[in-house]
Structure 1
Amino acid sequence: MSVLIVIPARYASTRYPGKPLAELKGASGVSRSLIERSWMAACEVNGVDRVVVATDDDRIRQAAEGFGAEVVMTSASCANGTERCAEAHEALGGGFDVVVNLQGDAPLTPHWFVESLVQGLISAPEAQIATPVLRCDGAALNSLLADRKADRVGGTTAVFAADHTALYFSKEVIPFTSKPYSETDMTPVFHHVGVYAYRPEALAAYPSWPTGPLETLEGLEQLRFMENGRSVLCVEVEAKGREFWELNNPEDVPKIESMMAKMGVE
């Protein structure tokens, strides 16, 4: 079973231009770019045959090659990371059994998230795409709610059926709950972790499918699979004491740096 990890990265983010090159200080005060830290996270995953950065920007290419990453140049017309992964897989000649999209804004993604994700897809032949979900404790839920209250787009949440087939993903906090939770309480809300594992046939078809109204409204690429009748598997993963957050806004930098300091991430 051959596995490719693609880290899609674009410079022209609407919410955070230049985000892949944003610097994050580790526990010892050493600064590394977001794209380098995401690449380091990808390289820790077991059972992976190849890791590449996919970008259309020379600044990102130069930075990535500078720390030793393999880079695949893709077109500026890619609408999202999934389209960029599809283009990168094709440029590499295809042939991988599973393609993983480890988005370049998730440097704290533990290797076991990705390993569980790949195994989940392999074990569910009816699924064409799999993605991890992490049950929120009260602290994580309160962070999501604080972002929405401040009119910031923070993390994405997911709801799924008993067989873990996705029902919906949203940048709103779903399902609604009015109950207050302490920081250590486990909640019914699941944080969607921005990683995807695709079967290559579904990934190759994705760019040809129309963009539907839900993907347009939410700005969530995985909804295109659902709007075109494809099954998305939600794989529940365990934090194992590890804090997790994506870098969505400039305000997330100190939050992630604080998490790295607590975990001793250099």
Structure 2
Amino acid sequence: MSTVILIPARYASTRYPGKPLVQLHGATGIAKSLIQRSWEVAKATPGVDAVYVCTDDDRIANAAKAFGADVLMTSEFAKNGTERCAEAVAQLPEDTDLVVNLQGDAPLTPVWFLTALIDAMKADPDLPVATPVLRCDAETLNNFREDRRARRVGGTTAVFNTYGHALYFSKEVVPYTGEDPATHDNTPVFHHVGVYAYRPAALKAYMSWPEGTLEKLEGLEQLRFLENGQSVACVQVEGRGRVFWELNNPVDVERIESVLKKEGTA
């Protein structure tokens, strides 16, 4: 099965303009851009045939090429990362079987999250779309709640049925637990990891649907699949003691750098 990782990145982020080029310092004090750190995760994933940064911005493209990445230029009209990946697929070989969307704001994504997702898609050829979910630990859940109290839109939570199919994704903390603050790691709240795996046909279908009401309200691209009756498999992954957090707001820079230093990541 031919597998390609695409890293969609745009400069004109509403909440954090220029985010892909934000510098993050690791354990050695060396600064690398957000997009480079995400690319390094993708390149470290076994069984992947190619990795591309997908963007419409020359600043991101030039920075990516400077650290050795292959780049696919997409249009300025892509509304989200999934649309950008759908545009990029047209530039890939026709025999591409699986497309993985590693969003460029998730440099703390462990490689085993990606391999678990790819393995799930390979094991079930009928799955059109899959995405990882991670049970929140107390620290992560409290970060979610801190962001909400500060009226910051941060990470995403997911709820799914007994078959592992998504019921909903939200920027709110769902399901409601009544526990504030969190004091243990056995919460029913799952953090949605910003990675997707698609069959090319699912991406083609996605582009044929208009932006949905829930997608607009939540600002979550994956809801377009659910609003059109398309199943999204939620693949449970394990943190193995690693902290996972995306860079959504400026306050997240310090959070991510503290993890990089703690983990000894250069």
- TM-score bucket (shorter structure): over 0.9
TM-score (norm 2): 0.98
Distance change >3 Å, CA 179–CA 6, structure 1 → 2:
same
Alpha-carbon separation, structure 2, partners of 1:212 and 1:39:
30
1:84 alignment partner AA:
R
Point out 4+ residue stretches in structure 1 off by more than 4 angstroms.
180-184
Moved more, 124-133 or 162-171: 124-133
Q: Aligned pair 1:238/2:238, yes or no? A: yes
Alpha-carbon separation, structure 2, partners of 1:221 and 1:4:
20
Task: Verify the 8 A CA contact 2:247 2:253 in the aligned structure 1.
Answer: yes
RMSD across aligned positions (CA) = 1.1
1:63 alignment partner AA:
A
Corresponding residue for residue 4 of structure 2 = 4
Distance apart, 1:128 and its partner CA: 0.9
After superposition, what is the alpha-carbon deviation per residue over 1:41-94, rounded to whole angstroms, capped at 9, x for unaligned? 101111100000000000001000000000000000011000111111111243
Task: Verify the 8 A CA contact 1:160 1:167 in the aligned structure 2.
Answer: yes
Distance apart, 1:212 and its partner CA: 1.0
Corresponding residue for residue 109 of structure 1 = 109
Distance apart, 1:126 and its partner CA: 3.5
Task: Verify the 8 A CA contact 2:141 2:182 in the aligned structure 1.
Answer: no
Q: Where does structure 1 lack aligned partners over 5 or more consecutive residues?
A: none
Corresponding residue for residue 251 of structure 2 = 251
Percentage identity across aligned positions? 63
Corresponding residue for residue 13 of structure 1 = 13
Task: Verify the 8 A CA contact 1:52 1:72 in the aligned structure 2.
Answer: yes
Alpha-carbon separation, structure 2, partners of 1:81 and 1:74:
11
After superposition, what is the alpha-carbon deviation per residue over 1:214-234, rounded to whole angstroms, capped at 9, x for unaligned? 101001000111111110000
* 2:187 counterpart SS class: strand
Alpha-carbon separation, structure 2, partners of 1:125 and 1:183:
40
Alpha-carbon separation, structure 1, partners of 2:196 and 2:162:
20
Q: Where does structure 2 lack aligned partners over 5 or more consecutive residues?
A: none
Moved more, 70-79 or 199-208: 199-208
Alpha-carbon separation, structure 2, partners of 1:130 and 1:169:
13
Map residues 6-45 of structure 1 onto 2, 5 A cutoff. 6-45=6-45
Corresponding residue for residue 228 of structure 1 = 228
After superposition, what is the alpha-carbon deviation per residue over 1:102-153, rounded to whole angstroms, capped at 9, x for unaligned? 0000001111000000111222334210000000011111110110110001
Corresponding residue for residue 197 of structure 1 = 197
* 1:242 counterpart SS class: coil
Corresponding residue for residue 168 of structure 1 = 168
Corresponding residue for residue 47 of structure 1 = 47
Task: Verify the 8 A CA contact 2:159 2:190 in the aligned structure 1.
Answer: yes
Alpha-carbon separation, structure 2, partners of 1:8 and 1:58:
13
1:110 alignment partner AA:
P
Task: Verify the 8 A CA contact 1:181 1:187 in the aligned structure 2.
Answer: no
Q: Aligned pair 1:125/2:125, yes or no? A: yes
Q: Aligned pair 1:136/2:149, yes or no? A: no
Task: Verify the 8 A CA contact 1:126 1:231 in the aligned structure 2.
Answer: no
1:98 alignment partner AA:
L
2:238 alignment partner AA:
E
Distance apart, 1:184 and its partner CA: 4.4
Distance apart, 1:183 and its partner CA: 4.8
Alpha-carbon separation, structure 1, partners of 2:239 and 2:229:
31
Task: Verify the 8 A CA contact 2:11 2:19 in the aligned structure 1.
Answer: yes
Alpha-carbon separation, structure 2, partners of 1:10 and 1:137:
30
* 1:241 counterpart SS class: coil
Moved more, 108-117 or 91-100: 91-100
Distance apart, 1:260 and its partner CA: 0.5
2:198 alignment partner AA:
Y
* Alignment size in residue pairs: 266
Distance apart, 1:205 and its partner CA: 2.0
